């Protein structure tokens, strides 16, 4: 299977991982988490990282040990064809449900905030069309585009964080643990699947010039993403008061609305909107490509890129009939995340046990 025209490098995966994971700082996720943890929302990503890190590092160890396999091939190799395929399908379906729900939320945001007179279906179609065109260029092109836009995105992120400090009230950070340390740890565990993209990216393990490029890229990109997520969530906690943080549906957009550049440049939200849209398109282009790649690896489809358009149509159909934004965000998405989190937290340990057993039998 020809995956890309040339092997990828560290910088390309770094930017893709950063966009895929880091955009959780600029969607509706903070509002969902704040409903449970209040002003301690910024501690949830840290808790999730603590739970995810052992599983993820174990998976990376297994990929390094079995360096000729990607994620799907590794699972099928260690668990056998039938059980391995079932687990791969479970991972694939989990990612598919997440992309449908997330895309619907992003479309609702764009519809409500920027194009209120346009229909949701029309915006959904245009959004998916852009993602399809970008994804059809291949992982190499997506990585190059991501790297090209990274300086602009990084500038806008640092800029808004700097401007947001002028509206910050640091006393709002107290009490540090918000609703309680137990609630933070529970939410960190239950919502760990928010960062399932870290695991999904391992389907591209063999698409890099050297395995070390992949490892460096995913470690640096994910680390950078978690740093900015935590910093953004902290900014939301100190910018919005204790009683309203959980009721701010779009905290990133709300933050861009209240920051100013003196008396003459008050409406700078449009500038930040451009960066947010670019990140959104790139994130879901990578997500779509990896999802179809996983499908192709499970069912041995070559070339899997031919299924990009059918998947876009399927996502559009299911996303259009999804519940309203409030129901989708406060009920469906939260429940789905809680159900699929144990899958991504535990399956690397299952693979590790099977790897140990296989190693003993081969002695």
pLDDT digits (tens, 9 = 90+) for 89-144: 999 999 999 999 889 888 888 888 888 888 888 999 999 999 999 999 888 888 88
| Mean of pLDDT over the chain | 86
Helices (H), the chain: 10-22, 29-37, 44-65, 71-79, 81-113, 120-135, 139-164, 181-190, 197-200, 211-239, 251-258, 269-299, 308-320, 325-327, 334-361
Position 66 pLDDT exceeds 60 = yes
Distance (Å, whole) CA 129 – CA 345? 33
Specify the DSSP class assigned to residue 53: H
Residue for token pair 């008396």:
263
> Residue 242: which pLDDT band, with cuts at 50, 70 and 90?
low
As given in the structure block, the two tokens for residue 24 are 């959780």
Distance (Å, whole) CA 338 – CA 187? 9
pTM for the complete prediction?
0.91
Domains of the chain: 10-352 (1.20.1740.10)
Q: What is the pLDDT of residue 31?
A: 82
pLDDT greater at residue 26 or residue 57:
57
Q: What is the pLDDT of residue 288?
A: 95
Distances (CA, A) of 229 to 132, 240, 284, 299, 323: 27, 16, 18, 35, 27
Q: Which residues pair with 208 in a beta bridge?
A: 8
Contact 271, 265 (CB under 8 A): no
Q: What is the pLDDT of residue 2?
A: 40
Burial state string for 13-51 with b = 16 or more CB within 10 A and e = fewer than 16: bbbbbbbbbbbbbbbbbbbbbbbbbbbbbbbbbebbbeb
Distance (Å, whole) CA 355 – CA 361? 10
pLDDT digits (tens, 9 = 90+) for 188-238: 999 999 899 999 999 988 888 788 889 999 999 999 999 999 999 998 888
Q: What is the pLDDT of residue 266?
A: 54
């Amino acid at each position: 299977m020809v995956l890309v025209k040339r092997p990828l490098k560290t910088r390309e995966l770094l930017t893709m991982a950063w966009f895929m994971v880091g955009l959780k700082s600029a969607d509706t996720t903070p509002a969902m988490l704040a409903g449970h943890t209040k002003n301690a929302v910024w501690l949830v990503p840290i808790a999730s990282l603590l739970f995810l890190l052992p599983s993820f590092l174990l998976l990376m160890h297994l990929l390094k040990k079995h360096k000729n396999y990607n994620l799907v091939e590794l699972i099928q190799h260690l668990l056998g064809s039938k059980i391995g395929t079932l687990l791969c399908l479970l991972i694939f379906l989990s990612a598919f449900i997440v992309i449908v729900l997330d895309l619907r939320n992003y479309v609702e945001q764009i519809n409500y905030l920027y194009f209120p007179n346009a229909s949701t279906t029309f915006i959904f179609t245009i959004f998916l069309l852009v993602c399809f065109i970008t994804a059809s260029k291949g992982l190499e092109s997506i990585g190059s585009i991501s790297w090209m836009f990274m300086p602009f995105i990084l500038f806008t992120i640092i800029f808004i964080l700097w401007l947001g400090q002028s509206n910050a009230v640091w006393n709002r950070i107290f009490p540090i643990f918000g609703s309680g340390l137990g609630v933070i740890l529970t939410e960190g565990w239950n919502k760990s699947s928010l960062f399932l993209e870290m695991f999904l990216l391992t389907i591209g393990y063999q698409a890099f010039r050297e395995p070390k490029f992949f490892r460096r890229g995913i470690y640096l990109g994910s680390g950078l993403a978690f740093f900015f997520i935590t910093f953004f969530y902290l900014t939301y906690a100190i910018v919005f008061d204790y009683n309203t943080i959980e009721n701010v549906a779009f905290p990133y957009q709300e933050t861009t609305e209240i920051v100013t550049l003196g008396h003459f440049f008050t409406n700078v939200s449009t500038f930040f909107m451009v960066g947010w849209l670019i990140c959104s398109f790139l994130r879901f282009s990578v997500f779509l490509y990896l999802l179809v790649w996983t499908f192709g690896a499970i069912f041995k489809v070559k070339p899997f890129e031919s299924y990009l358009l059918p998947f876009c149509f399927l996502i559009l159909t299911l996303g259009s009939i999804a519940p309203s934004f409030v129901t989708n965000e406060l009920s469906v998405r939260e429940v789905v995340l809680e159900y699929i989190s144990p899958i991504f937290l535990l399956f690397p340990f299952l693979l590790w046990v099977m790897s140990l057993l296989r190693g003993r039998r081969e002695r």
